[in-house]
Amino acid sequence: MKKLNEELEKKMFELDAKANEYYENEDWDMAIDTYKQQYELLPEPKDEYDWGYGALEMIGSVYYKKRDFKQAKSYLTKALASPVYTGSYKQDMNAPINWELGKILYQEGDKEGALEYFKAAWGLIEIEDENPKYEEFIRAHLDVDTPY
């Protein structure tokens, strides 16, 4: 994982705080714009910075909140493809992305594809305030013992 210079790192934190505020206020368009600004400031190759991974994940998540599943899938898939993390840490970091992609595919009717993403996330993240249909679907199709 590459590191940014001190000045750019500071700018990333500033934009992140601003984007998080927009997110908290459910101002989805401004949150997306701010995360995109953050991503655009990164030097190439952007996917070798943890900030790039985080920006792609958040852009995808905000598009999910807006129910724009096509855009959400695009950004979340790019984040999953990022080489910035490896091994079990990558699995942990990717769990929320896999969960959201599973929900998107489920909503689109691709239950088999959804299962693959749900399987990759199951047991790695705690699922709170979720629609119980996802957990019921997983329990009906996967051999899982743990609550999450």
Q: Which of 133, 132, 94 has its CA nearest to residue 116?
A: 94
pLDDT at 119 (0 to 100): 87
Q: Which helix (H) or strand (E) holds 105?
A: helix 87-108
- Sequence spans of domains, the chain: 1-68, 85-148
Of residues 136, 77, 144, the one with CA closest to residue 105: 77
Phi then psi for 21, rounded to 5 degrees?
A: -65, -45
CA pair distance 61, 123, nearest whole angstrom: 20
pLDDT (tens digit per residue) in 95-104: 899 999 999 9
Report pLDDT for 146.
Answer: 59
- 10-residue stretch averages of pLDDT, the chain, 148 residues long: 91 97 98 98 92 96 95 96 84 89 94 92 70 81 66
pLDDT at 130: 67
Q: What does the alpha-carbon distance between residue 17 and residue 28 come to, in Å, rounded to a whole number?
A: 14
- The Cα–Cα gap between 68 and 37 comes to 20
CA dist list (Å): 55 to 28, 46, 50, 142, 148: 14, 10, 9, 31, 26
Q: What is the pTM of this model?
A: 0.88
Q: From residue 62, how far is each of 21, 24, 74 by CA, in Å?
A: 13, 11, 12
